[in-house]
Amino acid sequence: MAERPLSPHLSIWKWGPHMLVSILHRVTGDGMAIVGLGVLLWWLGALASGPEAYATFTEIATSWYGYVVLVGLSWAFFNHMTSGLRHFVLDIGAGYELGLNKAWSVASPIIGIALTAAFWAALLLL
């Protein structure tokens, strides 16, 4: 029996920004599902448990590490949204030209960071 190459194999593919966007899309989706669900359930449980439990939740959520988690969740949301929109455009058959695909692959996480910064600026400054 002949030795057949494993395809697709990592040595065949050249790393590109589209691969990073795809990986980030999966990671941010999982992060929102796991961490976001935990924060949501904790918030709902604290809300239902009374003022003391809710005060504990808000104290931790408004601490520096609470803000790190909340900013991370909002970044995950906006990054997942922008890469999801990019994938939607690809699904309708547009954006497969190499230059355009690479440009949107680079722009997608940058737009996610910009939207996160704008969201938190609006929350904290208004």
Residues in binding site for heme: 80
Which residue positions form the known binding site? 80
Indicate the DSSP class of residue 3.
-
Residue among 17, 28, 2, 27 nearest 100 (CA): 17
Helix ranges (H only) for 50-97 are 51-61, 64-91
**CB of 102 within 8 A of CB of 18?**
yes
> Which tokens go with 80?
């997942």
Indicate the DSSP class of residue 36.
I
In a 10 Å sphere around its CB, with 0-12 CB exposed, 13-18 middle and 19+ buried, how is residue 21 labelled? buried
